[in-house]
């Protein structure tokens, strides 16, 4: 009986360690997303573009990004609250090459919109840093 208990403890410990390792990229990606959203919240649209992932910058010109985000976020007003609703690590996304991604959904309350969902996709960039590679608000 003691042998079974020891095996169970070892198996559970292994699962905990494996779960902890999986949480590390999610935490790093989430921190990068929140810092990036802070730039958006502060109206620093040019800086949000320049600190985004390489494929984000390649897909969208800085002036185009600034214009689009200013129009959308300007109409919503200031952020009143934001909380993480979900964060999921994945190696693949539709239309994107395989890599390391974390898709984070935030439930956000704005001055002019009581509840919105912000979806931020963080990606591990070529230099190994987590950066925002996608942003969608609904």
Mark 39-51 as b/e (b = at least 16 C-beta within 10 Å): bbbeeebeebbeb
The confidence score (pLDDT) of residue 30 equals: 96
13 falls in which pLDDT band (50, 70, 90)? very low
Span 133-137, mean pLDDT?
95
23 falls in which pLDDT band (50, 70, 90)? confident
Span 88-117, mean pLDDT?
96
The confidence score (pLDDT) of residue 32 equals: 97
Distance CA 54, CA 17 (A): 32
Tokens, residue 118: 């912000």
Class of domain 2-137: alpha beta
Residues 138/106, Cβ–Cβ less than 8 Å = no
**Per-residue pLDDT tens for 55-84?**
999 999 999 999 999 999 999 999 999 999
Residues 6 or more apart in contact with residue 106 via CB below 8 angstroms = 37, 82, 83, 84, 85, 117, 118, 119, 120
Q: Smallest Cα–Cα separation from 36: which of 90, 82, 93?
A: 82
Domain assignments of the chain as residue spans, ordered by start: 2-137
Least confident of 5-14, 85-94, 106-115: 5-14
Predicted structure pTM score:
0.82
DSSP character string of 39-53: HHHTT-HHHHHHTS-
């Amino acid at each position: 009986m003691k042998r079974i208990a020891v095996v169970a403890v070892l198996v559970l410990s292994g699962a905990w360690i494996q779960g902890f390792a999986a949480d590390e990229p999610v935490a790093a990606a989430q921190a990068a997303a929140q810092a990036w959203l802070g730039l958006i919240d502060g109206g620093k649209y040019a800086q949000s573009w320049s600190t985004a992932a390489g494929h984000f910058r390649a897909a969208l010109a800085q002036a185009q990004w600034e214009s689009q985000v200013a129009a959308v976020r300007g109409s919503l007003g200031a952020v009143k609250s934001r909380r993480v609703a979900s964060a999921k690590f994945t190696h693949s996304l539709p239309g994107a090459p395989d890599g390391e991604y974390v898709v984070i959904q935030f439930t956000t309350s704005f001055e002019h919109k009581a509840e919105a969902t912000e979806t931020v996709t963080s990606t591990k960039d070529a230099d190994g840093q987590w950066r925002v590679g996608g942003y969608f608000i609904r």
